[in-house]
Amino acid sequence: MALPYFYINDIVADTLTLDEDTSKHVVQVLRKKVGDDILLTDGKGTKAIATITDDNRKRCAVHLGSREREEEPQPRVCIAISLIKNASRFEWFLEKATEIGVREIIPLLCERTEKEKFRHDRLNNILISAMLQSQQCWLPVLQNPADFGAVLKWGGYDHQFIGHCLPEERRSLTQLSKDLQGSSIVYIGPEGDFTKEEIEAALQHNVTAVMLGDTRLRTETAGIVAAILLRCR
């Protein structure tokens, strides 16, 4: 039986106190006692076995034992994706992107984005759950929403792609991803697609226009197709 697996922001010290939610889960839900072991990750590649030293159900204390370090998953993939009106579809995207091992997610504000509230804490918790559920120890970095034009200038990835549906020249991401080396970012537009001007701006920043298969996809589906094509290559 695998040890129950939890997230903690920082595992530098040798002894630490779990937050109230985690304490409750460990002590009250799982009925763990002093001397029992759990597994912790900091979401930055470290896993540590922790032994309970105080089974207080609000402030459970643990002593950290052996640690293990995992390298960052390769290839590094970032999905920069427009916010969408339907929050549960966006949350679904976050869960699946995490399972697939995407490293960074940038919520985009495009010209046709129908802006919605963005609750970073709530959405980050979805990433944490999905990371733990899939037994990973790297938490995707979730940025705050940013203007598409600004994100184009951020850089940091070897390859840049933009998925759109206009009848302009586009290459197949399937074909391109086959021989790709290094990290990549894909831009996915809102339900109404990127505007011509946005695509033009992307091309001027050396972003390659791509299509994602031969069917018309919803925003969140396009994000997942791109993530899989770039991660599983």
For residues 152-191, which are near a second copy according to CB under 8 A? 173-174, 178
Closer CB to a second copy, residue 206 or residue 215? 215
Q: Does the protein bind a second copy through residue 100 (CB under 8 A)? A: yes
Rounded least distance, CB 216 to a second copy, Å: 5
Closer CB to a second copy, residue 20 or residue 70? 70
* Contact present, 151 and 108 (Cβ < 8 Å): yes
Please say whether the dihedral angle defined by the alpha carbons of residues 187, 189, 193 and 197, taken in this order, is positive or negative.
negative
Contact pick of 71, 121, 169, 214 for a second copy (by CB under 8 A): 214
Structure tokens at 99: 């399972």
CB atoms < 10 A from the CB of 171, how many?
12
Q: Does the protein bind a second copy through residue 203 (CB under 8 A)? A: no
Please say whether the dihedral angle defined by the alpha carbons of residues 102, 108, 114 and 116, taken in this order, is positive or negative.
positive
Q: Does the protein bind a second copy through residue 127 (CB under 8 A)? A: no
Contact pick of 40, 62, 224, 230 for a second copy (by CB under 8 A): 224
Q: Does the protein bind a second copy through residue 136 (CB under 8 A)? A: yes
Q: Does the protein bind a second copy through residue 4 (CB under 8 A)? A: no
Q: Does the protein bind a second copy through residue 112 (CB under 8 A)? A: no
d(CA 181, CA 74): 10
> What would the DSSP string read from start to end of 209-233?
EEE-SSS---HHHHHHHHHHHHH--
Rounded least distance, CB 104 to a second copy, Å: 16
Please say whether the dihedral angle defined by the alpha carbons of residues 212, 224, 189 and 138, taken in this order, is positive or negative.
negative
* Contact present, 61 and 169 (Cβ < 8 Å): no
Site string for a second copy, 47-76 (x = CB under 8 A): --------------------------x---
Q: Which residues bind a second copy (CB under 8 A)?
A: 73, 92, 96, 99-101, 133-136, 173-174, 178, 212-218, 221, 224-225, 228-229, 231-233
